[in-house]
Structure 1
Amino acid sequence: MSLSGPRPARRRWFLSLLAALAVAVSSVVVLTGQAAAGDARVRVMTFNIRLDADAPPKDWASRLPLVKQLMRKHRPDLLGIQEGLWHQMRGLDGVLPAYDWVGMGRQGGTRDEFSAIFYRKDRFEVLDFDHFWLSDTPNVIGSATWGNKITRMVTWAKFRDRRTGSVFYHVNTHFDHQSENARVKSAQLVLERARAFEKDVPVIFTGDFNAAAKKTQPYAILTGPDAFADTWETARDHGPEIGTFGRWTTPVPGGDRIDWILSRGRVTTDWSEIDPFQKDGLYPSDHYPVVAHVKIGK
C-alpha cells in the first residue's frame, strides 16, 4: 500500500490505522478474557515432592528448579502435595507466586511434614478448611493409634470457583507406608468424614495412598458404593499407565498406581496422566505427579 500524498494526509491516515488496530487488539483481548472466564476445566495435581533427606543432586535445592519447571508445564489449578517440610513449603511458596495454600505440619504448626493444598488465589476463594489426624482421636494433633510409627493426617478445604461459581471440597492426605491396618482404617475414616461434608457438594481427593489401585483394600473401600470414583478410570482419555513411585528412575509400564486423584459427586474427568518428568537424568521427586483435568459441578 502506498503512503504517497501530502504529509498531513499521510499522518491522518496513519493515526486512523493505529486507532483501528487498537480497537481490533482490544476486541481480541476482551474475547480471550471471556473465553478464559468461561473455561470450567480445573487442572488437579497430586504430587509427593519427597522430603529433603537426600544428598546432592537429590537434595531439595537441586530439585526445586525442576519442580518449578514441572508446575509451569502443567499449570495446576489445585495441587495436593505430600512430604513437604517447612523449608520446602517456603521454597514452593517462592516459585509459585500465583498460589496460596492451606496446611499444617503433622505435629502441629510448622513441625514435621505437610500434606498441603495449593490453589490459584485469583481463581478460588477458601470458604472453610481444617485438618484431622488419621487415628482413633482424629482431633488430637500428632496422634497415631493404628500401629503406624509415623503420624498421618488430612488437610481439607472448601472452595468456591470464582470462574464458574461452583463450590467443592478438596481433601489431601498421605497414608502410612508400613501398616496395612493403618491404611485400611485411614480409608474408612476419610470416607466417613467426606460423607459428613455438605450434601451434594462435589469432592476432589488427592493423595499418596501407599496402596496399589485396583489391588488393595484401601482402594476398594474408597471406590466402593457411595464412595469416590477414580479419575484415572473415569477419564475420557489418559496417558500411559505407569507406576507412580518412580524411585528416581525411568517409569515401569503397568506398575502400581499408589498416588491417586479421586472424585465424588458432580465431577467429570476429561484427561488424566502420570508424568515421569526429568531433566538430564534428575527427577524432581521419587514419585511421579498425577494430573487430572476435571469439570466440577457440571
Structure 2
Amino acid sequence: MNTLKNLRIMTYNLRNNCDVSPNSWAERKKLILELFLRESPDIIGTQECVYEQIQDMDEMLPDYDAIGLGRNGGSKGEYTAIYFKKQRFKVLEYDHFWLSDMPETIASSSWGNDVTRMVTWIRFLDMETNQQYYHLNTHLDHISENARKESANLIIKKIANFNPELLVLVTGDFNTGANTEPYKVLMEQGKLIDAWDTATGRINEGLGTFNNFNDPTGGIDRIDWILYRGDVKPGVIQIVNDQPQGQFPSDHFPVMMDLKIPMNRE
C-alpha cells in the first residue's frame, strides 16, 4: 500500500495596498501573517500583491520562497505570485503567460479585459514525496465574462503542453461562481476537478469567498477555487473566515485544501 503525504494548498487574494485604515496593508499584514503561521500551507497561490507587498511577504515568510512577476512586467502591477516552503520544494521550471491572444507578450490584453491578466506556473519537485507536479495560479478579469471564458480556454491549452503523467494544481481568484461558462470550460474541456466537490469534508460550507471587508458571509459565490487533475486523494477543504476583532485580513477569504500525495519510491 502506498504511503501518503499531506500537501496543504491555499489560494488567497490578499488585496493590493490601496486601502486606507482600517483596511490598510500596514494594519492587515500582521493578520495575514498570523493566518499563515497558524495554517502553515505548503503552497500558497496569491493574487493582487504589488511589489511593496511582495517585499513585505518575503520578509514575513522566511520559510518560503516565491515565484512571481508584475503583470505589467518587472515589478510593475499586481502579481500572481506562488509561495512555497523552500525546505520541501525544488523549482524545476517556471514561467508566466498573459491571458490574451498574445500570451507570451508581457502586459498584453484581449477579449475585453478591464486590466491585464496573467498566469504564473511552476513545475515542482516535492522532496518529501519524490513527486513532480505543476501549479498554475491566476486571477481572471472581474468585468468581462467573455474574457474569463477565453482565459479558461487558454489555460487549458497551456496545460495540454505539460507532461500528462504529472499532477496539475490550479489556484486563483476566478471572479465568477461555479457552473458558469469559464468554470465549465475548465471542468469539462480541461478535465479538471473542483476540490470543493471531492473533499472529504467542507468547513464553512455556507460561505462565499468575497467579503469586501464588510460581509462575514463572504457574499453569495465561491469565486476562489482550488482545482486539480491527477493522482491525489482529497481531504478536507475550508474557507478560512478570520475576522479578529471584526477586522478582515483581506477582502477575500482564503480557501485551503489538504491533498494526500503518494510517495514515489523510484
What TM-score results when the alignment is normalised by the length of structure 1?
A: 0.85
Aligned to 2:198: 234
Q: Offset of 1:146 from its aligned partner?
A: 1.0
Partner of 1:42: 7
User: Which residue does the alignment assign to 2:64?
Assistant: 99
2:109 corresponds to which residue? Answer: 144
1: CA distance, partners of 2:135 / 2:58: 19
Kindly indicate whether the alpha-carbon contact (under 8 Å) linking 1:175 and 1:208 is maintained by their aligned counterparts in 2: yes
Amino acid at match of 1:239: I
Give, in whole Å, the separation in 2 of the partners of 1:107 and 1:225: 29
Q: When the two structures are aligned, how many residues end up with a matched partner?
A: 260
Decide whether aligned partners of structure 1 residues 112 and 296 sit closer, same or farther in structure 2, where only a CA change above 3 A counts.
same
C-alpha offsets along residues 93-146 of structure 1, whole Å, 9 cap, x if unaligned? 111110000010001110000000000000000000000000000000000011
Q: List gaps (5 residues or longer) in structure 2.
A: none
2-side partners of 1:262 and 1:136: how far apart?
24
Distance 1:224 1:297 in 2: 26
CA distances 1:208-264 after superposition (whole Å, capped 9, x unpaired):
0001013x1001111115521000111111112211001113432882100000001
Task: Provide, for residues 134-167 of structure 1, a one-character-per-residue CA deviation record: whole Å limited to 9, x for no partner.
Answer: 0000000000011112000000000011101010
Deviation string for 1:22-51 (max 9, x for gaps)?
xxxxxxxxxxxxxxxx76111100000000
Tell me which amino acid in the other structure corresponds to 2:184. Answer: A
For 1:180 and 1:270, locate their aligned partners in 2 and report how far apart those are by CA, in whole Å.
31
Gap runs ≥5 in structure 1: 1-37
Runs of 4+ in 1 over 4 A off after TM superposition: none
* 1:289 aligned residue: 254
Greater Rg by CA: 1
Task: Indicate how the Cα distance of structure 1 residues 254 and 147 shifts in structure 2: closer, same or farther if over 3 A, else same.
Answer: closer
Structure-2 residue corresponding to 1:249:
214
| Deviation (angstroms), 1:266 | 1.1
- Read off the aligned partner of 2:108 and give its amino acid letter: S
Look up the match of 1:224: 188
Distance 1:269 1:158 in 2: 20
Q: In structure 2, what is the equivalent of residue 159 of structure 1?
A: 124
Give the Cα separation in 1 of the matches to 2:190 and 2:36: 33
Contact 2:111 2:147 in 1 (8 A): yes
RCO comparison, higher one (Cα < 8 Å, 6+): 2
- Cα distance, 1:65–1:253 mapped onto 2, change above 3 Å: closer
Partner of 2:33: 68
Q: Give the partner amino acid of 1:191.
A: I
Q: Which amino acid aligns with 1:137?
A: M
Q: CA RMSD in A?
A: 1.4
| Counterpart code for 1:218 | P
Match of 1:257, as an amino acid?
R
Amino acid at match of 1:294: L
Asked if the contact 1:52/1:88 (under 8 Å) is kept, the reply is: yes
Taking the aligned partners of 1:65 and 1:73, their CA distance within structure 2 comes to 12
Higher helix share: 1
For residues 239 and 251 of structure 1, what CA distance do their matches in structure 2 show? 15
What is the distance in 2 between the residues matched to 1:85 and 1:199? 33
